[in-house]
Structure 1
């Protein structure tokens, strides 16, 4: 099975490295925005200048780009991947995307005689390099079965959510809870710090109560010592993901009051030019300017 990959970024590099080191024949799109690929080339990966040519040379094409606009551009816009897809091939979309867009693109891929599987990721670049991502997967059972060993080359846990689009839907559910909880923790921590709260006591209390969990553990090092390294996820990215959730909920006519509050919090920071800050830094950004 020949594997192509588009998007050798912070997450995509780890995916690519694990694919090629675990015995798969890998090619990738050589483009601006990639992480350094010298190690991949030394391991035998082959670069392509055009996405359409990469698609034509691949049995499975993995997309690891930012979101729905980029996936749409790769498949139907400047990348022209649809023009190069082999009948019987599979497109795996590891991005975070709006499910309605995913399903529309999957239909177009199906018209070319190929299949589409959404395999959204959770965890960080560290786990990507270690081959320990979580994948939230949607698609036809037979297609998922065919590519499962490939997915297992870079994932520790695989959650089959349902048909095409379900993986992306589950990712948005995951991220609105994660990013919304982090925004809430940051807001209340900012309030407590402004009032002179002992941050060690506060974090210890939260850890041993109902606020304990992964979100707190990723923000706690920033609260205690100004270290944002455990969540190097920007406000810009969180804003995108929360916005995607709101779009999905609006299309379903579902409640979204809490998610809108998280969205407005992130939008306020972007309006102030703080979008490149990491999410834990909200603890400082939400404090009064006089602090």
Structure 2
């Protein structure tokens, strides 16, 4: 029999994860929450709903969390009627959120004290890949637990990397997002400078693509530079600032250098200030082109 799955966080990414879990025949129960996407499709597919994390955990072999970040993960696990209040002995908690590794390790200790195991499995890629079941997952777990949960993860992920023990998944996610978002910020700043210099956007992008500036970040930014299209990276400025803040916190915890990260974080903080929390990250070059960014 397939494990009984419980899930908290049916937002844009979580909705795609949930639909692929039920497509593969797993029994799934989700917590009712105002932040969920509409559940009609999932309920029609057999998903059940429940009122609290504790009630969910009482009947789940595996609990998946897909919430915003560390404060939300901690609240979902340890708050009143939280997951830990109902966690079954031997249950596994899989945290697909983006979180600070130090918090992850603290939560793992509390989950272990309650008789369970916590795995961090943050994701990369976008809402479209979540819908299609083609996410990338970065998994922090011991080898035996990783093999236990791998069939479930394969329901909604195309590439599954076992990157180390508990906390390693969130560490790798922050490293990944720092490089990705840092590259977007660097290209956006250069694009703003190129515009002031009178360099055509298509020329700027073509020259970078054929040289050392080419890569995934440029291909995400290029459509915006040429036509204003923001669908290449469906990510809000406030999310970028959160992830960079988490990265800087992580570097401070391990006394690693973070001078460049501080500047990238400040760039996204200015982006939130000028463009608003829900401003698409790809609009950064336009914001940087204005005098108010100087």
What range is the shorter-chain TM-score in? over 0.9
Secondary structure of the structure 2 residue equivalent to 1:87: coil
Give the counterpart of 2:255 among 245, 253, 258.
Answer: 253
Residues 192-231 of structure 1 aligned to structure 2 (within 5 Å): 192-231=194-233
Unaligned 5+ runs, structure 1: none
TM-score normalized by the length of structure 1? 0.98
Structure-1 separation of matches of 2:277 and 2:47: 34
Q: CA RMSD in A?
A: 1.0
Deviation by residue 1:142-189 (Cα, 9 ceiling, x = unmatched): 111111100000000011111100000000000000000001111110
Deviation by residue 1:75-132 (Cα, 9 ceiling, x = unmatched): 0114521010000100000000000100010011001111110000000000000000
Does the CA-based 8 Å contact 2:192-2:289 persist in structure 1? Answer: yes
Give the counterpart of 2:171 among 153, 166, 169.
Answer: 169
Aligned twin of 1:82: 84
Aligned twin of 1:126: 128
Does the CA-based 8 Å contact 1:50-1:79 persist in structure 2? Answer: yes
Aligned twin of 1:56: 58
Aligned twin of 1:93: 95
4+ long deviations beyond 3 Å = none
> Cα offset for 1:288?
2.2
Give the counterpart of 2:281 among 254, 279, 282.
Answer: 279
Unaligned 5+ runs, structure 2: none
Which is further off, 74-83 or 33-42?
74-83
* Corresponding pairs, count: 290
- Judged with a 3 Å threshold, the aligned counterparts in structure 2 of structure 1 residues 255 and 79 are, in CA distance, closer, same or farther, namely farther
Does the CA-based 8 Å contact 2:275-2:287 persist in structure 1? Answer: no
TM-score normalized by the length of structure 2? 0.97
